[in-house]
């Protein structure tokens, strides 16, 4: 697999997974530099938190000029 830190093809291995994924853990680490990558499909997007509006951010307010 290509390692962007090393700038070349490198061997990657699956480190122990602290998140409890076991064999399904998407993390891999470069055996030369330790850079981590995720493999497989991206996780699904989480829904917005309750009470937070979605869409564009409000326009910033400016103080009146004196």
pLDDT in the model for residue 41: 79
Judge if pTM exceeds 0.85. no
Q: What beta strand segments (E) does the chain contain?
A: 2-3, 8-9, 12-13, 27-30, 36-38
Query: Could you tell me the residue ranges of all domains in the chain?
Result: 2-38
| Coil vs helix vs strand at 23 | helix
Q: What is the pLDDT of residues 6-32, one digit of tens each?
A: 999 999 999 998 888 888 889 999 999
């Amino acid at each position: 697999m290509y390692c962007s830190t090393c700038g070349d093809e490198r061997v990657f291995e699956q480190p122990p997974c602290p998140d409890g994924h076991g064999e399904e853990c998407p993390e891999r680490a470069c055996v030369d530099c330790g850079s981590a990558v995720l493999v497989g499909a991206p996780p699904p997007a989480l829904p917005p938190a309750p009470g937070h509006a979605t869409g564009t951010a409000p326009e910033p307010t400016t103080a009146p000029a004196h």
